[in-house]
A and B are shown apart, each in its own frame.
Chain A
Amino acid sequence: MDDLLAEFLAETRETLDALSGEIIAWEADPSDRGRLDAIFRFVHTVKGSCGFLDLPRFETLSHAAEDVLAELRSGTRTADAALVSAVLAIIDRIGELTEALESGAELPSGDDGLLIAALSAEANVCPITGAAPHVVQTANKAPARSIRVPLELLDRMMSGVSDMVLARNELARRLREVGAEQEVGGAFERLSTCLADMRDSITRTRMQRIEKLFSALPRMVRDTSAELGKTVDLDIDGSDVELDREMIELMRDPLTHMVRNSIDHGIENAEVRRKRGKPEAGRLSISARQSGNQIVIEIADDGNGIDEGRLVAKAIANGVITQELANALPPAARAALIFSPGVSTAEQVTAISGRGVGMDVVKSNIERIGGSIELDNRPGFGLRTTIRVPLTLTIIASLTVSAGSQSFAIPRSAIEEIVHVSSASIRIDTLGDATVATIRGRALPLLHLEHVLGTGHVDEVTGRTIVVVSAGAGLSYALCVQAVHDHEELVIKPASPAVMGAGVYGGMSLPDSGVPMLMLDAVGIAARAGIEPEEANPIAALTQDAAAETGPELTSTLLFHDLAGRRRGIRLGVVERLEDVAADRIAETAGRLRVAIDGRLLPLLGCEEGLPAGAMVKLLRLSDGASELAFAIDDVIDIVQLPPAMHHATSEGPIAGVALVQGEQVELIDVFWLFAQADAAPVREERPLCLLADAEDRWSREILRPLLEAAGYRVGFAGESVEAQADVVIAGGEPVAAGAAPVIRLRPDMAGANDGSVYRYDRMGLLAAIESQVAKRRA
């Protein structure tokens, strides 16, 4: 009995999938006898089986639908939109019941009587407006012979074949070693060919026709356009293209989203279309084709396209880009702004689309499966979206690279280009401890793979190769590797949690060499190396422009959001650089906020309204030529040229005045005040304590002590009560009581012993040693 039920449910579900397209096609052409018959057969079968299986609700529903369809077949009634909706409602309910029974859930409640009443000729229940879309082409094919096989079995077959391939490789090696006879070689060749064929067909068993994805579209287009009162002709092509079944599932949401967007935002209503001289019915065409080892899915409509002006304005308003960047954007990049998070062009949020989570999610979903998405926007005439995805998830086209003594794979979809370091088109600059590669005018952060992975040190870039990797929107970097080996199609498997936990791998593969290879995750590598999207970190590129353009009248000013989110400006001349530091390196020590950078302590300003949340803090490092301080900000906006005129502040404080920047008021930071604050004397009790080990020594008391006090330290002597609070102990050769504080040894002779001691009249050396020990201790 259970077997029978399961069989019935599976069959019903499959027929339902196939049927939804038929119904829409039938509505478009009610005289199409073939489609009416197909629908009739379905409800008839359901009715027959469920009577037998004792499923009364199924029976009532299918019975009612069968009656109506029989009337239509005999010609006593004709189909109209209301009737088709009513039949659809019945079929939907049957679908819901099927799903509930299959998952063992409680049967959904709902009055079947209402649905049945809607079928009657006099019924006037919920009239649904909008005409049905015409399905131009929906192939009516006889179902291929098939059986159901559990996926796990297919996976086992796949891994079995992979085992055989490896065994063949080993056999090939052995045969070469022993120098086998020609006949053996021939037989071996035949075996290899068979094996390759078998591998191919088993790979294909995991494939499904994209029809499975497309069959739901006519119904969706009909419902969506009816809801919006629009008329849409749907044209589907290429349903017989095959795609990995997992891929089909992953494509479902993005495709649904794109189609809804097209109908909701793209295609205009009938009135507008008439005015623009377009046919009243909008046209939506969806096609799939195979191109090499990729599947290309195109979604094209003849609607309004994307309003680029409004999109750019929205992106600026939402802080996605700045006005300057927007002005410089090429047209193609303007439409692509729709993929930025938090941008949606619809003026009103509708139930269909425009909820603000939209195209950015679509793009990231597609990129996650190794695909890409492109827009061809013709404002006023329509939008064509091209989605490319690999044939399967498990076989990924990859590039093999080596770093240190090891090989790694990089998914080819993440690679923009490969250049040799010696190529004339690139330049490599070192900025502090960071390296930038400029490739044909485009500056990219340069990473050595060995450094990212911590497997070695690279001093010399000569002879190495740069792989330009794109890790998603605006996040590209130059990955420098020892060598690039091969393009290969690799079977990628998920790695164990212990390996994935490293955060830089996307999976692993077993190439023919028999040594496992890890696949790098482009996004993980970027995160590991602390690279940020280009837009978010424009300072590097913009500084150069600004420096080149400085005129006699203008002051280069860096605009930024401070921690409270206000737009502020600071003279670029005092900004040494922009730096990200870990939040735990900031602490309130010695009476003020300080940040430990590069083994030094810098006063930290800009946090008057509280410390920033989050693990990383953006800092501007400011310098007046002699001393340095850090200023915490939220984000850099831009660099602008300002005339010296500004409205001065009414009182002394952090703000020097106000300037007008692009029509907005921007407060300019008073740099003088800032440095004056930073050098203000810290609270006395909070000064670091230097403990001098020899309380009796005259030199310590009379010479060293005043020096230390002048340098801003407290001084105590061994044996005093403050001993336990010491931040650093200064001693000569004498033994020191073991404590927690670090010890600095002084030596009386200038000639250096190599024991880390400091010559006692080396003022700079001594103060530096104390400072670094204190900084280490307090950091």
Chain B
Amino acid sequence: MDKLYLIATIAGQPVAIHASLVESVVDLGAVAPVPLAPPHVAGLAALRSKVLTVICCECSLGFAPTGRGTRRAVVIQLDGHHYGLVVGSIEDARVIDEPPQPIRARLEPGWARIAIGMLEYDGEALLLIDPERLIAGPDEALAA
């Protein structure tokens, strides 16, 4: 389970998330906006009787949101609240035996904030990201 990762894309970049952090992957229904919330909070959506706080990953990275059409979200639970992270697409869940490597390249500030390592799979490099930092959004990082 430790080595199982969910592979998705955010702003076209393939990323990996520890599968142990992920509750489920869903297609979101109607999203009710939250006025006055930080820009990366896209709104609230219902998942059965739970309410998800929908996080736009692209906004959290500081990019202009591109894929408004996508409704696919990774559901994460943090401190008793459920969050839906809107991603570009979900590729697969895979076991990667190699441990994460430190990142050898200089990343853009947005990526640098959420990335915690690099994974090699199928001759392709994947960024391992920390969903908690995605949820915190860019403001928190500035304050820290």
Q: A497 to B136, alpha carbons, bound, how many Å? A: 9
What is the predominant secondary structure among interface residues of chain A facing chain B?
mixed
Residue B116 at the A interface, CB < 8 A?
Answer: no
Binds B, one of A158-166, A649-657, A694-702: A158-166
| Least CB separation from A165: chain B residue | B49
Residues in B whose Cβ lies below 8 Å from that of A430? none
Verify B49–A499 contact, CB threshold 8 A. no
Q: What is the distance, in angstroms, from B10's C-beta to the closest C-beta of chain A?
A: 18
Q: A441 to B37, alpha carbons, bound, how many Å? A: 37
Number of interface residues of B (CB under 8 A): 25
Verify B48–A166 contact, CB threshold 8 A. yes
Residues in B whose Cβ lies below 8 Å from that of A495? 44, 51, 53, 81
Verify B32–A406 contact, CB threshold 8 A. yes
Q: Which chain B residues (33-57) contact chain A, with CB distance < 8 Å?
A: 33-38, 41, 44-46, 48-51, 53, 55
Residues in B whose Cβ lies below 8 Å from that of A496? 53, 81-83
Q: A592 to B30, alpha carbons, bound, how many Å? A: 56
Q: What is the distance, in angstroms, from A332's C-beta to the closest C-beta of chain B?
A: 37
Residues in A whose Cβ lies below 8 Å from that of B74? none
| Least CB separation from A164: chain B residue | B49
Verify A503–B32 contact, CB threshold 8 A. no
Residue in B36, B48, B82, B135 whose beta carbon sits within 8 Å of that of A502 in the complex: B36
Number of interface residues of A (CB under 8 A): 31
Verify A510–B41 contact, CB threshold 8 A. no
| Least CB separation from B41: chain A residue | A498
Binds B, one of A73-81, A512-520, A539-547, A685-693: A512-520
Residues in A whose Cβ lies below 8 Å from that of B48? 163, 166-167
Q: What is the distance, in angstroms, from B47's C-beta to the closest C-beta of chain A?
A: 10
Q: What are 5 of the A-B contact pairs (CB < 8 Å)? A: A163-B48, A166-B48, A406-B35, A454-B36, A496-B83
Verify A514–B36 contact, CB threshold 8 A. no
Q: Which chain B residues (11-40) contact chain A, with CB distance < 8 Å?
A: 29-30, 32-38
Q: A504 to B36, alpha carbons, bound, how many Å? A: 8
| Least CB separation from A509: chain B residue | B51
Q: A495 to B35, alpha carbons, bound, how many Å? A: 14
Q: What is the distance, in angstroms, from A86's C-beta to the closest C-beta of chain B?
A: 47
A516-B44 contact given A495-B53, A502-B34, CB 8 Å threshold: yes
Residue B137 at the A interface, CB < 8 A?
Answer: yes
Residues in A whose Cβ lies below 8 Å from that of B82? 496
Verify B49–A503 contact, CB threshold 8 A. no
| Least CB separation from B83: chain A residue | A496
Verify B32–A517 contact, CB threshold 8 A. yes
Residues of B within 8 A of A (CB): 29-30, 32-38, 41, 44-46, 48-51, 53, 55, 79, 81-83, 135, 137
Residues of A within 8 A of B (CB): 159-160, 162-163, 165-167, 406, 453-455, 493-499, 501-505, 508, 510, 514-518, 528
Q: What is the distance, in angstroms, from B71's C-beta to the closest C-beta of chain A?
A: 14
Residues in B whose Cβ lies below 8 Å from that of A166? 46, 48-49
Residues in B whose Cβ lies below 8 Å from that of A508? 44, 51
Verify A499–B44 contact, CB threshold 8 A. yes
| Least CB separation from A405: chain B residue | B33
Q: What is the distance, in angstroms, from B98's C-beta to the closest C-beta of chain A?
A: 34
Verify A454–B51 contact, CB threshold 8 A. no
Residues in A whose Cβ lies below 8 Å from that of B49? 159-160, 162-163, 165-166, 510
Pairs A-B, 10 closest by C-beta atoms: A453-B35, A516-B44, A162-B49, A496-B81, A502-B36, A496-B53, A163-B49, A516-B51, A515-B30, A163-B48
Residues in B whose Cβ lies below 8 Å from that of A160? 49
Residues in B whose Cβ lies below 8 Å from that of A515? 29-30, 32, 46
Verify B37–A502 contact, CB threshold 8 A. yes
Residue in B34, B46, B137 whose beta carbon sits within 8 Å of that of A518 in the complex: B34
| Least CB separation from B30: chain A residue | A515
Q: A498 to B38, alpha carbons, bound, how many Å? A: 7
Residues in B whose Cβ lies below 8 Å from that of A162? 49
Q: A518 to B135, alpha carbons, bound, how many Å? A: 19
Give 13 A-B pairs besides A499-B37, A503-B36, A518-B34 with Cβ atoms closer than 8 angstroms: A162-B49, A163-B48, A406-B33, A454-B36, A494-B81, A495-B44, A495-B53, A497-B79, A499-B53, A501-B38, A502-B36, A514-B30, A528-B36
Q: What is the distance, in angstroms, from A152's C-beta to the closest C-beta of chain B?
A: 11
Residues in B whose Cβ lies below 8 Å from that of A455? 33, 35
Residues in A whose Cβ lies below 8 Å from that of B83? 496
Verify B37–A516 contact, CB threshold 8 A. no
A501-B37 contact given A495-B53, A508-B44, A516-B45, CB 8 Å threshold: yes
Q: A508 to B29, alpha carbons, bound, how many Å? A: 17
Q: What is the distance, in angstroms, from B52's C-beta to the closest C-beta of chain A?
A: 8
Residues in B whose Cβ lies below 8 Å from that of A504? 35-36
A516-B32 contact given A497-B81, A508-B44, A510-B49, CB 8 Å threshold: yes
Residues in A whose Cβ lies below 8 Å from that of B46? 166, 510, 514-516
Q: A77 to B135, alpha carbons, bound, how many Å? A: 71
Q: A494 to B53, alpha carbons, bound, how many Å? A: 11
Q: A162 to B49, alpha carbons, bound, how many Å? A: 6
Q: A518 to B35, alpha carbons, bound, how many Å? A: 10
Q: What is the distance, in angstroms, from B140's C-beta to the closest C-beta of chain A?
A: 9
Q: What is the distance, in angstroms, from A180's C-beta to the closest C-beta of chain B?
A: 23
Most B CB contacts (10 A, CB to CB) among A167, A495, A515 go to: A515
Residue in B30, B34, B50 whose beta carbon sits within 8 Å of that of A499 in the complex: B34
Q: A279 to B44, alpha carbons, bound, how many Å? A: 62
Residues in B whose Cβ lies below 8 Å from that of A406? 32-33, 35
Most B CB contacts (10 A, CB to CB) among A453, A496, A499 go to: A496
A454-B41 contact given A496-B83, A510-B49, CB 8 Å threshold: no
Q: A453 to B35, alpha carbons, bound, how many Å? A: 6
Residues in A whose Cβ lies below 8 Å from that of B135? 498
Q: What is the distance, in angstroms, from A414's C-beta to the closest C-beta of chain B?
A: 19
Q: What is the distance, in angstroms, from A483's C-beta to the closest C-beta of chain B?
A: 17
